[in-house]
Structure 1
Amino acid sequence: MYNPLPLIQRFFAALALLVLLAGCATTPPDSVLAVPAPAQKYAAIVVDARTGKQLFEVSSTAQRYPASLTKMMTLYLLFEALDSGRVSKQTQIPVSDHAASQPPTKLRFRRGESIDVDSAIRAIVVKSANDVAVAVGEYLGGSEDQFAAMMTSRARQLGMTSTIFRNASGLPDDGQMTTARDMAVLGMALHRRFPQQFHYFSESDFMFRGRLVRGHNDMLGRVRGVDGIKTGYIRASGFNIVTSYNADGRNLIVVVMGADSARQRNDHVEALIQRSLSPTMDGTKTRLMFAEQ
């Protein structure tokens, strides 16, 4: 919808709306939530992870590109391999020429090098390393294509009815699609199935070969109670995130897809968390104000 306000006025209007959502104890029954994303890319859902109750959704079953949210399923299958004893945290995963040739973000391996499973998990979570994700897929699946088929099969078993995986990394592929709802299902499954591994998703950096590798998830440390889990971006998807909030007896999974920037995405996640925690929001109707397209 076209908004005739000048750019600076619209910025402060959106900012005021976010402040209102975060702090107002008398939110009107018909509240307004600013959405900093084109309508054709935006999708969001908030789920109470303890009860499965849906607290908010917009276009949550519409097809979207997962980008690096894909790596959540790569990690799910790697955690399964750890649980079954197929691999240990010390197992060395070889990095093939195909894996090493993936575009950034990556750790940049030379021919013949390998990475241990523990470091691989951190590289995928923190750095979102495409070369490591592909190496894991090849190791567990025999080839990346076979691993993608395993990913899609596991997605169906988890109840992710609208997701198709074509690669282990989330790099652009027109056939690789998901929905905000399916990503929420995967986020909850990771939390419930692997509580002993979930701590990886709260890490914002790690040491690799004597170098500090910093991450992309700026929600960590920004909002008290946020304990993961994964960001993603490709041009076709916009800025995506799945966020876990766990504090004061509340556990939420928040998915936002298609934002125009990481900052706008994070602002929106924070607003959705505050909205979902507010007792005044129960049963209210929310109107969405989309950014100008």
Structure 2
Amino acid sequence: MIKRFLACLLLLSSAAATAQTEQSLIPAPPQLAATAYLLLDAHTGQILVEENADKQVPPASLTKMMTAYIVSEEIEKGTIKETDQVLISEKAWRKGGSKMFVKVGEKVPVIDLLRGVIIQSGNDASIALAEFVSGSEDVFAEVMNQQAELLGMHDTTFKNATGWPAEGHMTTARDLATLGRAVVMDHPEHYNLYSEKYFSFAGINQPNRNRLLWRDNAVDGIKTGHTEEAGYCLVASAQKRGMRLISVVLGTDSDEKRAAESQKLLAYGFRYYQTHKVYGSDDVLQTERVWGGKQPEVGIAVQEDVFVTIPRGGEDNIKADLIIDGELEAPLKKGQPVGKVVVTLDGKTVAEVKAVTAEEVEEAGFFKRLWDAIKRFVMGFFS
């Protein structure tokens, strides 16, 4: 019996070692035929792959991601509505490059222009929205730069709403990944527009230029770009098995290449990594003693859902530590920060979030507070 038990232990140890070896086998990321590229987990913000991610390059029509983002922001704030009619100026109508084919002097709903920007990459639609939001494209460009700073896009400067070549109109793969994440996470009510394959306006049906929408059902955005200087570019996003990835591929030499190289990045991320939910914001992690409260204990939760990016199959290597900032005293408000939760993977910190009270604790009456004070003193004296 003892020999059989030892044999089982050896088998289990061998299997565990094999599983550990298998889950740690992550090959080097693919090398892409592109000027710069980056792969990001949208839930956690963790970068899985990067190459020349801080190299400043012209963004071409990827600029329109910011144009659309600002329009969505204005709609959310209530300063404009989807149904507002936008008067098309001669400047918008005359603009060259890709077009939605609006006509000078006509009025077009904001939501149609937004589709024209996102699906058809219309320069005319971009300028029309810029003028409607800010009065002029120049002023709108200032708003774009202010929004870029708020998002943390510190190496980006916008000169216009379209991506039309202009001196100093530059960005980086890292900043575009930040913008792509904001597009996905901040305005889900408009993100579905990025997955639409066609949009018809003025009797002209135009396809979305993102080839991956036809090739991979997991892909649901985001935006293509191309100029002679920028090359062929694509910011793509895909969701599979609870994981959302954002890829940025800049400076390829063809429409086909930007799609193929983006597919390589996305396939690598989905194959070797996963997004793991450690805690939900409704989870009570443990209870803590409360002094001077109507109730003796309070539940401790996290301020927000906690996600981490880990090698696929590596859940057993995650450790979470709850650190409370001293003893808790009533009154306590629900959601009041009282410490932090530190999540580590193989000893390396991968997430740190605030620990908060899961409920309100009112202050007790005088005699209860006095009794707690005595107990606290005695416990402190003998500790």
Shorter chain as denominator, the TM-score bin is 0.7 to 0.9
Measure, in 1, the Cα distance between the counterparts of 2:234 and 2:173. 10
Measure, in 2, the Cα distance between the counterparts of 1:52 and 1:35. 22
AA aligned opposite 1:33: P
TM (norm. structure 1) is 0.82
Structure 2 partner of 1:67 = 60
Equivalent of 1:140 in 111, 133, 151: 133
Structure 2 partner of 1:35 = 32
Task: Summarize the Cα distance change of 1:27–1:101 in structure 2 as closer, same or farther, 3 Å threshold.
Answer: farther
Tell me the alpha carbon deviations over residues 36-64 of structure 1, each in whole angstroms, 9 at most, x when there is no partner. 24xxxx11010111111110000001101
Structure 2 partner of 1:44 = 37
Gaps of 5+ in 2: 1-21, 274-309, 313-383
Structure 2 partner of 1:222 = 215
Determine helix, strand or coil for the equivalent of 1:252: strand
Structure 1 partner of 2:267 = 274
Q: CA deviation at 1:133?
A: 0.2
Q: CA deviation at 1:282?
A: 5.0
Q: More displaced, 149-158 or 210-219?
A: 210-219
Determine helix, strand or coil for the equivalent of 1:35: coil
Structure 1 partner of 2:196 = 203
Q: CA deviation at 1:33?
A: 2.7
Measure, in 2, the Cα distance between the counterparts of 1:243 and 1:208. 25
Tell me the alpha carbon deviations over residues 74-123 of structure 1, each in whole angstroms, 9 at most, x when there is no partner. 00110011112222221111111111111121133333122211111111
Alpha-carbon contact 2:100-2:121 (below 8 Å) kept: no
Structure 2 partner of 1:107 = 100
Measure, in 1, the Cα distance between the counterparts of 2:185 and 2:272. 26
Structure 2 partner of 1:169 = 162
Q: CA deviation at 1:35?
A: 2.4
Tell me the alpha carbon deviations over residues 194-222 of structure 1, each in whole angstroms, 9 at most, x when there is no partner. 01111001011022234322221111131
Determine helix, strand or coil for the equivalent of 1:233: strand
Q: More displaced, 83-92 or 58-67?
A: 83-92
Equivalent of 2:187 in 194, 198, 202: 194
**Match status 1:179 vs 2:172:** yes
Tell me the alpha carbon deviations over residues 228-284 of structure 1, each in whole angstroms, 9 at most, x when there is no partner. 01000011100111111112111101000000011111111111111112228959x
Structure 2 partner of 1:238 = 231
Structure 2 partner of 1:153 = 146
Determine what percentage of the aligned residue pairs are the same residue.
Answer: 36
AA aligned opposite 2:73: E
TM (norm. structure 2) is 0.63
Alpha-carbon contact 2:66-2:144 (below 8 Å) kept: yes
Query: Which structure: larger Rg?
Result: 2
Measure, in 1, the Cα distance between the counterparts of 2:172 and 2:123. 21
Measure, in 1, the Cα distance between the counterparts of 2:51 and 2:103. 44
Tell me the alpha carbon deviations over residues 133-191 of structure 1, each in whole angstroms, 9 at most, x when there is no partner. 01111111111110000000000001111000000000111210000000000111111
Measure, in 2, the Cα distance between the counterparts of 1:48 and 1:159. 17
Q: Which has the higher contact order (CA 8 A, sep 6+)?
A: 1
AA aligned opposite 1:278: R
AA aligned opposite 2:59: P
Determine helix, strand or coil for the equivalent of 2:119: helix
Gaps of 5+ in 1: 1-24, 284-293
